[in-house]
Amino acid sequence: MGATRIGVVGCAGRMGRMLVAEIAASENCVVSGGTEAPGSGSVNHDIGEAAGIGRIGIPVGDNVEKLLRAADVVIEFTTPAATAEHARLAAQSATPLVIGTTGLSSEETALIREAASRIPIVLAPNMSLGINLLLDIVEGVARRLGPEWDIEIIEMHHRGKVDAPSGTALALGRAAAKGRDVSFEEVAKRGRDGIAGARPAGEIGFAALRGGDAVGDHHVVFAAAGERLELVHRATSRAIYAKGAVRAALWVVGRSPGLYGLKEVLGL
């Protein structure tokens, strides 16, 4: 069989450039194309040069539908509204999709789920192996520790990140809620300010820090009287997300329609 043709939406952005470089460096796959928004200064420039890997003879395009038709699978890390639209277009062209976009609303997630009834989609708020192992661990710890253990999730990202708490922090909270067999929406506390009152039992709290060029730190704290358990993951390079996304892209081709996570990709 030939190499898997992988397209990248948002190919000239920070994450997009890393994805192009990772695809080009990986076995069994090739860069089939990439797009940026119409009017972007990157359109018609060579994708390889934008990614810092040298000229590969493929210009940056601005037509996502054309990209979808020319690829075996497409990876996209863009904005929530754009992601929902790209999922719809991918379903129309029967092209598998890997989504790493965070900050999706419930409505946008529902549109992605609708598209996944027609094509296979991998949706993961974080593409790193370590984080996905941590999700599994957090669920197990929350299941084993009683309600007298408070759960707090602290995350830090670079100053340019626009959504808070991060998609990964929310995924960790959902893992903890699943372990406790409770509704995440009913126990999540996304911030505290002023006279917030005593902490209710069973609450899952969040704190979001922003500053500098932090790639992504996540702390899950289980606190009880007299002791505290802390689980920590620190990302020092965005390359881990590109590696995970390319692995997901190679995995999803040929799968049945459905919404998958990196847990399935990694066989966890």
**Distance of alpha carbon 189 from alpha carbon 210, whole angstroms:** 18
Q: Are strands 227-235 and 216-224 parallel, antiparallel or unpaired?
A: antiparallel
Closest CA to 44 of 11, 86, 90, 6: 11
Give CA angle at 15 (37, 211), nearest 5°.
110
Are 123 and 264 in contact by the 8 Å Cβ rule? The answer is no
Query: Catalytic annotation on 45?
Result: no
**Residues sharing a CB contact under 8 Å with residue 111, sequence separation 6 or more, in sequence order:** 84, 87, 88
**C-alpha to C-alpha distances, 53 to 14, 19, 66, nearest whole angstrom:** 14, 11, 24
- Which residue in this structure is represented by tokens 């997630």? 109
**Residues sharing a CB contact under 8 Å with residue 219, sequence separation 6 or more, in sequence order:** 153, 154, 155, 230, 231, 232
Which tokens hold the place of 89? 């277009």
Q: Which DSSP category does 46 fall into?
A: B
The catalytic residue among 86, 157, 233, 243 is: 157
- Which residue in this structure is represented by tokens 């419930």? 106
- For the purposes of burial, counting CB atoms within 10 Å of the CB of 114, is it exposed (0-12), middle (13-18) or buried (19 or more)? middle
The catalytic residue among 161, 178, 189, 219 is: 161
Query: Catalytic annotation on 66?
Result: no
State the maximum Cα–Cα separation within the chain, in Å, rounded to a whole number: 63
Catalytic residues: 157, 161
